[in-house]
Structure 1
Amino acid sequence: MKTIEAVVSTFSKNHQPCCTVNPGETLLFKTLDCYSGNIKTEADYPEDITDGDADLATGLVYVDGAEKGDVLVVDILDIDVADQGVCCNIGGPLMEQSVPRTKIIPVKNRIAHFNDIRWEVDPMLGVIGVAPEEGEPLCFLPGDHGGNMDSKMIKRGSRIYLPVQVPGALLGMGDVHASQGDCELCGNGIEIAADVRVKISLIKDFELHWPMTETKDKWYVNVAAPDYETALNQSCRELQRLMVDAYGWDQTDVFLYLSLQGDIEINQFTLPCPIDMILRAGVPKIPGKELIK
């Protein structure tokens, strides 16, 4: 099993890969928290952290045989978090009713300690993606390459599908949260360093426009856009396109079914923030009607 420790601040095809792997390999990514370990005490606050130090991705890994038009598959086998994380209010709807605050949150034996409340954490990857065909987006930005999707469904036991845009895909991941609610209201989960163990594989020649997540019981399309309406339309159209092929239904029946069984869930939308609206459109898994095979 290869261990990956190099970090980058952007997803870019111009990066020299940190290593080359083959489909079928298991990898261990050693990830930093979103502040690269710079928040050490409750006296520290993110305003002094530059964008280049935020949400660094561990990688980028060249996957042998991956070509544009393929899909990179990442099975998340385990996420082992550090024993302490941090949460800061950096934006969101309650900033006017709050003061800037950094909270150090112990995580002992996968139990988070927040004031007098305890709960079992369910770690997730905030950042996972591949290099886009054009541009060099910072790792804390989301897009059709993945990046900072902040979906709490990207966790142990989930399978992530990423559309390959450049040779080798150039996979990276990071920004683990020990715990995060949908929308990430204050702009932070429990930001924490972690070891992430994954298995990678490849699907050749499959049309996929946005990253997808497969959980035990649902399929999700993950989309980022400047506003809710655009993100909603793009995610639903991608889900509809895949379902027409998988279910053998026409577009209208898929539309009706999505209103009955589909869900629109907001990953992250904390203002003011340069990150677009990020959401996931989900549908239950049905045996024999796999959206990606």
Structure 2
Amino acid sequence: MQIIQDQVYSFSKDHAPAATAVPGEVLQFNTLDCFSNRITDESVTMDTLDYGYDGANPAAGPVFVEGAEPGDVLVVDIYDIRVADEGTVATDDHCGPLFEGTPYRSRKVPVKNGMATFNGVSFPINPMIGVIGTAPAGDDVIDGYVGAHGGNMDNHLITKGTRLYFPVRVPGALLQMGDVHAAMGDGELCGTGIEIPATIVVRVDVLKNFELHWPVLETFGPCGRWYVNASAPEYDEAVMNAAKELRRLLMAVTGWDAADTYMYMSLQSDVQISQGCKPCEVQLSLRIGTPKLPQFPPLVG
């Protein structure tokens, strides 16, 4: 199994691949935390941390996947996420609805036997990947930002056992990932989860000639669902982006017209905020999930 540990700080078509993989290959990504492991103890806070382009949200990669061409879809199955035994949560001066009057602070959070402990309160961890995606065809996008390529989606459903689908916009797709959280609530209110170094094991594949505009997440089991992940500076545009893509995909498999599909979505599809720590300059990231329909073909595939 190839191990990818080179770190990059942007999604770019110009990055030299750290590795080359074939469809069906299993890969290991070794990641730093979103601070590049620089908050070494609680005396280090974000007011003294140089948290610019070359310091935030490093991602391991990128990986060139053979056979992936623009117009295809890159499929990523998350097999495992193994986290370190300590993570960090911190406040910033511009993240989240309560940033005004909240002091800079860092807290180290120990992780042991699948449990995290914050100020004496223990709760189960749910390791998830904050930053994952492929290279855009246009300008570079720094890792801390989100877009139609993926990036900093901060969706806590991106965890072990899920499958992701990304539009391929450059040859080889150039997959990269990082910014693992041991735990994070929807919205990521103060701008950080339990930021933690991790080892991620995934399998990559290529779906040829499939139109996809935004990343899609698939979950499995009795309550398996499809989620379209989208973003924009504000909620109304972000929800429109996700809803339009979900409606297009549902219409393609059901044969329903736009009005019937829209009504069905209102009955069965949930809008959920992944990251909304405004006034942080990162766009609002959300997802719309809909149940799988066994009587119809898969939404993506």
Fold-level similarity (TM above 0.5): yes
Asked if 1:287 is matched to 2:298, the reply is: no
Match of 1:8 in 2: 8
Task: Give the share of equivalent positions with the same residue, in percent.
Answer: 48
Shift of 1:97: 4.8
Q: Which amino acid aligns with 2:230?
A: V
Give the match's secondary structure for 1:53: coil
Match of 2:120 in 1: 116
Give the match's secondary structure for 1:240: helix
Residues in 2 aligned to 1:132 and 1:96: alpha-carbon distance in whole angstroms: 35
Matches within 5 A, 1:20-35: 20-35=20-35
Shift of 1:246: 1.2
Match of 1:87 in 2: 89
Match of 2:209 in 1: 205
Residues in 2 aligned to 1:177 and 1:50: alpha-carbon distance in whole angstroms: 18
Pick from 263, 268, 272 the counterpart of residue 256 of structure 1: 263
Match of 2:195 in 1: 191
Asked if 1:229 is matched to 2:258, the reply is: no
Q: Which amino acid aligns with 1:171?
A: L
Matches within 5 A, 1:51-130: 51=52, 52-90=54-92, 91-130=95-134
Shift of 1:95: 2.2
Match of 1:38 in 2: 38
Residues in 1 aligned to 2:132 and 2:232: alpha-carbon distance in whole angstroms: 17
Residues in 1 aligned to 2:253 and 2:98: alpha-carbon distance in whole angstroms: 43
Residues in 1 aligned to 2:295 and 2:104: alpha-carbon distance in whole angstroms: 50
Asked if 1:265 is matched to 2:272, the reply is: yes
1:238-279, Cα deviation, whole Å (9 max, x unpaired)? 000000011121111111111111100011111221201111
User: Is residue 146–residue 162 contact of structure 1 (8 Å, CA) maintained in 2?
Assistant: yes
Number of equivalent positions: 293
Residues in 1 aligned to 2:83 and 2:295: alpha-carbon distance in whole angstroms: 36
Moved more, 191-200 or 278-287: 278-287
Residues in 2 aligned to 1:115 and 1:88: alpha-carbon distance in whole angstroms: 14
1:103-125, Cα deviation, whole Å (9 max, x unpaired)? 10001122101112111101100
Match of 1:157 in 2: 161
User: Is residue 71–residue 210 contact of structure 2 (8 Å, CA) maintained in 1?
Assistant: yes
User: Is residue 30–residue 58 contact of structure 1 (8 Å, CA) maintained in 2?
Assistant: yes
Give runs of ≥4 in structure 1 deviating > 4 Å.
none
Give the match's secondary structure for 1:133: coil
Asked if 1:142 is matched to 2:143, the reply is: no
Match of 2:50 in 1: 49
Q: Gapped runs of 5+ residues in structure 1?
A: none
Residues in 2 aligned to 1:271 and 1:253: alpha-carbon distance in whole angstroms: 34
Q: Which amino acid aligns with 1:179?
A: A
Residues in 1 aligned to 2:295 and 2:110: alpha-carbon distance in whole angstroms: 44
Residues in 2 aligned to 1:103 and 1:94: alpha-carbon distance in whole angstroms: 18
Shift of 1:50: 2.4
TM-score of the two chains, using structure 2 as the length reference:
0.96
Shift of 1:101: 1.1
**Residues 270 and 215 of structure 1: CA distance in aligned 2, closer, same or farther (over 3 Å):** same
Q: Which amino acid aligns with 1:291?
A: L
User: Is residue 46–residue 104 contact of structure 2 (8 Å, CA) maintained in 1?
Assistant: no
1:35-74, Cα deviation, whole Å (9 max, x unpaired)? 0100011111123222221101100000001000000000
Pick from 176, 182, 186 the counterpart of residue 178 of structure 1: 182
User: Is residue 128–residue 148 contact of structure 1 (8 Å, CA) maintained in 2?
Assistant: yes
User: Is residue 35–residue 49 contact of structure 1 (8 Å, CA) maintained in 2?
Assistant: no
TM-score of the two chains, using structure 1 as the length reference:
0.98
User: Is residue 34–residue 54 contact of structure 1 (8 Å, CA) maintained in 2?
Assistant: yes
